[in-house]
Amino acid sequence: MTPRDAADDNTGRWSDLDRPPLNANALRRALVREGGLWSGLEVVQRTGSTNNDLVARAAAGPVAEGTVLVAEEQTAAKGRLDRRWTAPPRSGLFVSVLLRPAEVPVDRWGWLPLLTGVAVAAGLARAAGVDTALKWPNDLLVTVDGEERKAGGILLERAGRDGVVIGFGLNVSLRAEELPVAGAGSLLLAGAVNTDRDPLLRAVLRSLEDWYGRWRAAGGDPSACGLQEAYAAGCATLGRTVRAQLPGDRDLIGEAVAVDGDGRLVIATPQGVQPVGAGDIVHLRPA
């Protein structure tokens, strides 16, 4: 499927007045500026996956760092381990960005999904008035009726030798009857004071630009730029007893006590303390 610019397709754009289309021109005016991170922003009406599209563009030819691709609807979105992500058109934010952190050693790039989680949470706190908790390694949680529910997720993919594409999906205006699975949530159901996606996206991308700049200036050192501390402060996983399902049907059960300098979750078990990386686990659940 070839993505189409949302501005060129008015079919059904106002079929749900509670879900107006994004204003691509206004977003570009607000975010794309000389000397800033964001070099271009495109909104497409419908596509399979913004991550797939941006990775493919980077493979096909030069794509500037700071390119942002947003979809009003994704038909084949995926999360970590190819888990599927679906939502009605214009009900959420489905965004991918291309970054080229040349100043940062590759072994620190694993912090980028955690950095994105911190940035999204900070942006939503300002623009939506919603506290967003972070479930290690890549889930965004909101509280609905006193229960933590997943409202979004983050996915990182390599793009050539020197680039990464970071995608995030966020349920904004999903109603209870539209939730894809039990235990899902949205900003609307969490009592957001604002579900207008334009200011939400502006706030999140500005926050991401700020955190990425700090992290890059520190050479990717998560402690020096304050990222490690900020992530720990917002991480709902820490302090809880968890079950980490490892490849080969092995389980690691213990208390999540820290996120170390490599972005790994440190689990204290009766046998000792063991760090696990995001690539080491199949599932992480409460025990």
For position 249, which CATH number holds?
Answer: 2.30.30.100
Distance CA 101, CA 211 (A): 13
> Are residue 114 and residue 250 in the same domain, yes or no?
no
Give ∠ CA 123-238-205 in degrees, rounded to 5.
Answer: 15
For residue 1, being part of any structural domain is answered with no
Whole-number pLDDT of residue 72: 98
Distance CA 87, CA 179 (A): 8
pLDDT per residue as tens digits for the range 215-267: 999 999 999 999 999 999 999 999 999 999 998 889 999 999 999 999 999 99
pLDDT per residue as tens digits for the range 264-286: 999 999 999 999 999 999 999 99
> Are residue 25 and residue 66 in the same domain, yes or no?
yes
In the chain, the percentage of residues whose pLDDT exceeds 90 is: 85
> Are residue 43 and residue 132 in the same domain, yes or no?
yes
* Beta pairing partners, 241: 255
Averaged confidence pLDDT in the chain = 92
3-state SS, one letter per residue, for 113-174: HHHHHHHHHHHHHHHCCCCCEEECCCEEEEEECCEEEEEEEEEEEEECCCEEEEEEEEECCC
Averaged over 105-109, what is the pLDDT? 96
> Are residue 66 and residue 147 in the same domain, yes or no?
yes
Whole-number pLDDT of residue 82: 57
Confidence of residue 10 (pLDDT cuts 50, 70, 90): very low
Q: Which domain holds residue 71?
A: 6-233
Confidence of residue 18 (pLDDT cuts 50, 70, 90): confident
Helix H or strand E segment including 85:
strand 84-85
> Are residue 185 and residue 243 in the same domain, yes or no?
no
For residue 227, being part of any structural domain is answered with yes
pLDDT beyond 60 at 153 = yes
> Are residue 255 and residue 183 in the same domain, yes or no?
no
Q: How many domains does the chain have?
A: 2
> Are residue 214 and residue 72 in the same domain, yes or no?
yes
Confidence of residue 43 (pLDDT cuts 50, 70, 90): very high
Confidence of residue 9 (pLDDT cuts 50, 70, 90): very low
> Are residue 260 and residue 213 in the same domain, yes or no?
no
> Are residue 138 and residue 58 in the same domain, yes or no?
yes
